[in-house]
Amino acid sequence: MIARAMNRSVNSAAMLFTLAALFASGCSSSAPDQSQRLVTSIDQLQTRGMITRAQVDRTMDSLNALQTSKDIRTDFQVFSDNVDEVGKQAKEIQDLAGDMKNRMETYIEKWQQDTSKTTDASLKSISEQRRLAVKQRFIEVQGAQQGLATAYKSFHGDITSLRVYLANDLTSGALDAAAPIIKKTNADRAEMKKYGTQLFAILEQVSAGMTSTTAPSASPDSK
C-alpha cells in the first residue's frame, strides 16, 4: 500500500512538472528556440514599425507644410526626400513582416506535430487549446496587416503621384488644385495609424503570451 501511494505521488509530481513545462514553453519542450526566434521577430517588427510610423508623420507634415510654404522649392525637396525614405522603410517592414509570418506558420505547424505525439489525453487537450488560441491571434495579426497594407498602398500611391504632379507644376495654384488629394492622403495616414495600433496591440499580446505562463486568449470579436 505504501509503495502504491509513493507511485501515485511520483506520478502526480511528474504530471505537474510536465504541465508546468508545457505552460512555460507555449508548446512542446523541444521548441523553446523556435518560440524565442518568433518573439524576437515580433519585437523587431514592432521596433521598425514605430520608426516607420514616425517617418510617415514627417512625410505628411512636409506635404501639409507645402500648402502654406514661403519657399515652395526648398520645402518640396524636403517632401520628396521624405517620400523616398518612407518607401525605403516600408520595404524593410515588408521584409520583417514576411519573416514573422514564416516563423508563425512554422511555430504553429511544429506545435501541432508535437501535440500529436503527446500520449496523455489531458495534456494533449490543454496543448491543443493553447495552440488554437495562439493561432487565432496570428489570424488577427494577418487581418490587421492586410488592413495596414491596403491603407499604405493608397497612401504611397497618393504621395508619389503628388510628387510627380508638383515636380511639373510647383506653384501655389497647383497646390490649391491638389488640396482634395492632400486631404485624402491625410485620411490614408489616419487609416494606417488605426490598423497599425491594432496590429501592435495584438503583437504585444502574442509576445506576452509566449513569454508568460498564461495562454493568450482569443479576442471577443473572434468568438
157, pLDDT greater than 90: yes
Confidence band of 100 (pLDDT split at 50, 70, 90): confident
pLDDT in tens, 124-147: 888 888 878 878 888 888 888 888
Stretch 66-81: mean pLDDT: 95
Q: How many domains does the chain have?
A: 1
The DSSP result for 166-203, as a single string, is HHH--SHHHHHHTHHHHHHHHHHHHHHHHHHHHHHHHH
pLDDT in tens, 182-221: 999 999 999 999 999 988 888 888 777 666 544 444 444 4
Here the CATH number for the domain that contains residue 206 is 1.20.120.30
Tell me the C-alpha to C-alpha distance, in Å, between residue 199 and each of 45, 47, 60, 97: 10, 13, 21, 11
Contact between 20 and 57 (Cβ < 8 Å): no
pLDDT confidence of residue 38: 80
Q: Compute the mean pLDDT over every residue in the chain, rounded to the nearest whole number.
A: 79
pLDDT confidence of residue 181: 95
179, pLDDT greater than 60: yes
Name the DSSP class of 119.
Answer: -
| Residues near 97 by beta carbon (within 8 Å), at least 6 away in sequence | 45, 145
Give percent of the chain with pLDDT exceeding 90. 37
Q: The whole model's pTM is what? A: 0.71
Give percent of the chain with pLDDT exceeding 70. 79
Highest mean pLDDT among 11-20, 24-33, 138-147: 138-147
Domain range for residue 129?
A: 2-222
